[in-house]
Structure 1
C-alpha cells in the first residue's frame, strides 16, 4: 500500500537523521573546537530526550489528524537539520538535535498505529514491519551514505542534504498520502491508565531488557570487528553494511511471525540474537563461522525493532499510539544502558567478553518472555 511505503520513506529519513551524527563526530569536533567525547554527548542528548519526552508529547498530540501530523513532523526535521548545518557552536547544534528528538517517538508511535489501521487485523504485524524497513534502509544506506558525503561536502553539507530529504518527504506525504480519519480523542487519564496494567508494565520492561542486550554488543561492533576479527578499518563500513543487508531477511521473517504471536516472536528472535552475539565472540578469527554468527545476529537485531513495537502496542489496544511511544522510550533506555554495560564489560573484562555479556542479558530477556507466554496461556 502506498501510504505504508511513504511512511517507510519517512522512517528512513528520521532514523538516518538520528544516527547520522555518529559518523560526523570527528569532523564536527574539529570544526566547532570541542573534544570528540564532548561532541558525543549530542548522541546522549538525543536518546534521553526521546526517552523522557516521547510519552507525554504523544499523549498531547495523538488526537491530531495523522496526515497533517506526519507532514508537520517532517517539516520540523527539515528545519532542525538546516539549523544543524548552520550551527556556529555546540550549543546551537544541541538545540538542533533536541527539537527533532522531541518528535521522533511521536512519529513512531502514531506511524505504527496508522500502519495497523491501514490493513486487516491479521496483517498488522506485516504492515508495521514494512514501515520498519525504513530502519533497515537507514542502517544499510542512509548512515553510510551520510558519512561518505561528509567526507566530500563536509558535515554541514551532510545536514543540508538531510534537510532537503526531510522537506521532500514532507511534500510526498502531503501530496500522495490519502487523507486519514481523525482519531477519536481520548482523555489523557484514559490513556495513562495502561501504565497501571501489570501485564503492560511487563511488556515495557521486556523491551528495556531486549534493547539493552542488543546494544551492549552492537554499540561496539565496529571495535569488535577491528580488534578481534582483524577487519581493516577501511573495510569496517562494508561489514556494517552487510550486517544491515542481512537484516532485510529479519524484517521479512518478523512480519510473518508477528502476525501469529509477537510475544513468541520475541522469544525466538531474542534467543537467536544471543546465539549470534555469543557465536561472534567465540569464533572471531574464523571467517566462515564469524559470517554465520553475524548473519544470525543481524537477522535477529533487525527483526526485534518491529517485533517489540507490535508486542507492546497489542498489550494496550485501547491506546496504541501511547503504548507504541512507551516502547520507543523503553528502547532508548535500553540503548543507553547497553552502551554503559558494554563499556563496563570492555573496561573490566576485556573486549572478548562483550558478546557473552550481551548474550547473558538476552538470556534474561528470553526467560522473561517465556514466563509471559506461560502466563498468557493460563489466561486463555
Structure 2
C-alpha cells in the first residue's frame, strides 16, 4: 500500500467519524405538538430599532392570532424611521427605551422596559423579524407551556427562511447555533441547555421578576443565553424547541454586510455556552466534512476505487446536511453539494467574530458600538 493510499484510509476513518458525530449532535429537535386553548393571558414584548419593514409581517401575524388573550408592547429603541407609527397602527402599546445608562445593552434594556409595563401573567419576548406561522401558533405555544407546568422558560428557534444567495450560504449558522444549545444531541436533556433562544422566549412574569429579569443580564451581548442561565441558577427549567409550525424568521434580509455584522457580534461569545462534549462533536463533524472534500480531490491521483469511495462520502455529507436542514428552516437543495463553501463562509465569519471579541472588543450594530 502506497503512502497516498494510507493517507486516504486515515482520512476515510476521520470522515466516517465526522458523519457519525453529525448524527449524534443533531439527533432530535422537539417541536410544539400540544394543541389547545390556553387559560393564561400573555404580554408580547417586541424590542425594535428601525424595524419598520421587518416589524410589519410580525404585527400582521399577531392580529390574526385566536383563542388567546394578549397585549402587544413595542419598545422603541431610538428608531429614526416609521417604527413607532407602524406599531401604533396595529394597536400596539408603544413605549420608549429610556434605560440606556452605563452597563446596559440596547435589547436587554428594551426587554426590561417592556416587562415593567406588561399587564399579563405571561411574558413573550419576540424579535421584530419573527412571524407566527398560522392563527393558532400563539395559542398552541402557550398551551404547551401550560402543559409543562408554566415554569421556567420555553424558547423556540423559528424556522429560517432564506431567500437571497448570501442567506443560503449562511445555512451552517442556524444549524450550529441550534446544535450549540446542547439539548438536541443523542444525550437529550441529560445535558443542560446552554441558555435560551432569543427570537421567541416565553416565561411567567412573576418568575421573571423574582430572578431579576433582563436587569441581571444587562451587560450581556447574548442576553437570551444569559437569561436562560439566570433561570437555571434559580432551579427553573429552560426548554429549547424548534419553532417549526409556530414561527419563522429571516434574520438578515438587509444585505451581506448586515449578516456578517450580526453573526460576528454573537458567534464567538455564544460558543462559550456550548458543552465541551458537544463542541468536540461539532468540530469533529466539521473536520470530517473538510477531509471528505479533500479526499475527493486527492483520490484523483490514486486508484479508481478510492475515487468511488470519495464521491460516495461526499454525497453522504451533502445528504446529511439536507436532512438536518429540514429541522432548521427552508433552504434550496443546490447549496448542500456546495458544503465546502458553506464551511469556508462559517469559519471565516466565526474567525472574524473571535477577532472582534478577543482583539478589537467591539462591533458596529444598528448604528451603535457594542462591546463583544
TM bin, normalised by shorter chain, reads: under 0.3
Rg larger for: 2
Higher strand share: 2
Higher helix share: 1
Could you tell me the TM-score, scaled by structure 2's length? 0.24
